[in-house]
Amino acid sequence: MTDSYAADALAADEVKVMTEADTIEIDAFLEHIDGIDREQRWGARFEPTSSQYQGEEGGFDAPLVFELGDIRSLLANWSYVQSAMRITDPSKLILEYTQVMMGFLLFNPSPRTIEIIGLGGGSLAKYCHKYLPETSIRGVEVDWEVIEVADQFCMPPPSERFEVIWADGADFVANDPQTTDILMIDGFDKHGQPPQLCSLDFYRACRSRLNAGGILVVNLCNYPERNAPMLARLRECFGEIITAPAEAGMNLVVFAFKDGRSCFDRADLQEAAGILQRNHSLPMAALVEKLLW
């Protein structure tokens, strides 16, 4: 084994250990949330009661900042954890779906621009700002109350390469004059994924917004009957797509490519994962094995 491969293997083992420790702490956090909620999280996410359909959730209307141990979280309601941050390491991605969304690095390790629809607590924005220093990042958030708590989540200050925009994500994608290399869609409200962020027109606008070689990354709640129309729309707009499950199957991350998907080789992606592992504390090798196409 060469020194380079040995270093890659050691880095991968270290990431695995760190990821397992994060998983234990996150599981404890989610179990604590389950104990507070009157209904199980899965039922609340995918099988709303009649009172929830009528907007009588019996919870809270504004986003809630909630802490347990070293984890600070942003909750849309007791069923939706929008963001989770390690207080002692604010840029670390501790929710699995955010790690999976960073899988675009396997296909483009150094994008010039990234746009994130659905800023939340800024987990993805903070990670990209720290670990992709040559990349400009724009985060778009529709809920002003979420933007108001950004300081509690250690958001980077505005600069030439970091901007937070208060706007409806669908309107922004359709009407903002700029384009981007990577477009990440992680927009949810207390009822789930807004219809305007998963329509056929929206996905068409996303494809038009991407630069040549651009990648759309979409986080979906992984409920097959509800996901099927969204996946069909994405395939209609982009052709073949790549998917990866996350959060014990509760989320599904989709990668769609502006220029259509090339024939990817898993061995080549594993090699790319090893290179990325030198600079990113993300379980890239494990992600490659999750990818479905």
276 within 8 A of 105, measured Cβ to Cβ = yes
Main-chain dihedrals φ then ψ at residue 191, nearest 5 degrees: -100, -5
Q: Is 3 annotated as catalytic?
A: no
Residue 217 CA to chain centroid, in angstroms? 8
Residue of 143, 181, 186, 259 marked active site = 186
Residues contacting 257, CB < 8 A, separation 6+? 107, 214, 215, 216, 238, 239
205 within 8 A of 236, measured Cβ to Cβ = no
Residues contacting 7, CB < 8 A, separation 6+? 278
CA distance 282 to 96: 10
CA distance 174 to 168: 10
Question: How many beta carbons lie within 10 A of that of residue 100, not counting itself?
Answer: 27
Q: Are strands 180-185 and 71-77 parallel, antiparallel or unpaired?
A: unpaired
SS3 106: helix
Question: How many beta carbons lie within 10 A of that of residue 7, not counting itself?
Answer: 14
Query: Dihedral, CA atoms, 121, 123, 126, 128, nearest 10 degrees?
Result: -140
SS3 48: coil
Residues belonging to the active site: 186
